[in-house]
Structure 1
Amino acid sequence: MTMKQSRPCLLYVGLAVIIGSILFVVGLLIGLYGISNGPCSTSSSTSIEDETIGGMMIDECKAEYIEQNLKLLSSRPHLAGTPAEKENAEMLVNLWTEYGFDSVRLLPYDVLLAYPDPDNPNTVMITDNGVGVFTSALTEAVLRPEDNNTDVVPPFNAYSAQGEPEVYHHFLVQGPLVYVNHGTSDDFDWLAKNRPDININGSIVIVKYGKGFRGHKSLKLKK
C-alpha cells in the first residue's frame, strides 16, 4: 500500500473519531440536563415540592374536620339508592369541584339492592314452649332528640330470602341451638369433622359477629 492510498483511510478514521466524540458529548449533556428535568426527576427541588404537598395534605387531615364531615354526611338516613344518598353524592361533587379537582363526575350504576318493607317488617321471636318471651324491636331507642328521624330504615337482613307469606310478619323459627363461631366455611367444616353427631339442618345457629359480611353468613346457612 502506498502513502497516497493510506491518506484517505486515515482521513475516514479521523472523521469517525470526531463524530463519535461529538455524539458522546451530546448524549452526556442530554443525560445530565434533559432527563433530570423530566417527569421522573429525582432532583432536590422535586423532593421538596413533594414534601410540601404531602405536608399540606397531612395538615388538612384534622380530627375536627373529620367530625364535621361525618356529621354532615350522616345527619339523616341515606340508604344506598335513595334520594338522600344521591344528594350526599351531589354535595361531594360540588365540594370537590370547589376544591379545584381537575375532574369530578357523578356516574350512575344499575345495581341490585335490597330494601325492607316498612308496612310489613320482619321480626324475630324467641318462644318457650310456644309462649313468646322475646320479640325483636323494629326501632332503636332515641338517645338524643335530634336523632329522632322518621326516615330511619327499619332493621332487615339484606339479600336474605323471605319467609312464607303467612309467617312473613312474625317469622317463627324452632329448633336446637348450635354455636358455629363466625359461621365461615372453615367453621362449618370443622364442626362436620369434629362433631359429626351435631346436625345443623333444622337448627338455629348462633354466629359470632366479625370475619365476614353478615349477609354472607345468611347465604352460607341457606346452602
Structure 2
Amino acid sequence: MDAFTSFFAEYGLLLAEKTWEHLYISFIALLLGVIVAVPVGIWLVRLPKIADFVLGVVSIIQTFPSLAILAFFIPLLGIGKLPAIVALFLYSMLPILRNTYIGVKNVDKNLLEAARGMGMNSFERVMKVELPLSIPVIMAGIRVSAVYLIGWATLASFIGGGGLGDFIFDGLNLFRTDLIVGGAIPVTLLALIIDFLLGRLEYYATPKGIRRRDTVA
C-alpha cells in the first residue's frame, strides 16, 4: 500500500497525462478505422469478386510486426503521435472490415427484396435495413479492434507517441518494476472499461426486435 501511495504521489499527474495520450491515440485510430472499414465492408458485399482479395491484403497487413509498421512510417511521417495513429489505424481495419462484410452479407435477402419493393433506393436500404440488422456483428468487430488498439498503443512510446507505454519502457530501461506495473495496470483497466462501454453502445444501437429475439434465444 505504501508503494502504491508513493507511486501516485510521485507520478499521479504524469499518469493522468499519459492515460489521456493513450486514449487519444487509440480513439483516433479506432475512429479512422470505423470511418474507412465500415463503408468498404458494405462496398465489398456488392463486389464479391474482389472481396476475398481485399480481405486477404488486410489480413496480411495484420500479420506484420507492430514495431516494423511503426518503423516503416518514421521516414514518411517522422516521429510522434501521427505515425503511431496511422500504424494503429491499419491494425484496426481487419476486425471491423471483416465483421462489417460478414454482417451485411448475411442480412436476410427477403428483407432486402421487401425494402426494394417498398421503393427504397440503394442508400436507403443500407441505412434502414443492412446496417441496423448487422449492427451486432459490426460492433463485435469494433470492440475487438478497440481492445487490440489499447494494447498496441503502448508501442507508440518507441517513436515518441507518448501514452502509457512510456511508463512500461522506462521501467524496463531502468529496471523499475513500479513503473512497469504503473503502466501495465492502467492499460488493462482501459481495455476492460472500453470493452464494457462499447458493449453497452452495441446493446442500445441494436434494434429492439433483434434484442428481444436474442434474449428469447
TM-score normalised according to structure 1 size = 0.19
Q: Is the strand fraction higher in 1 or 2?
A: 1
Q: Which has the higher contact order (CA 8 A, sep 6+)?
A: 2
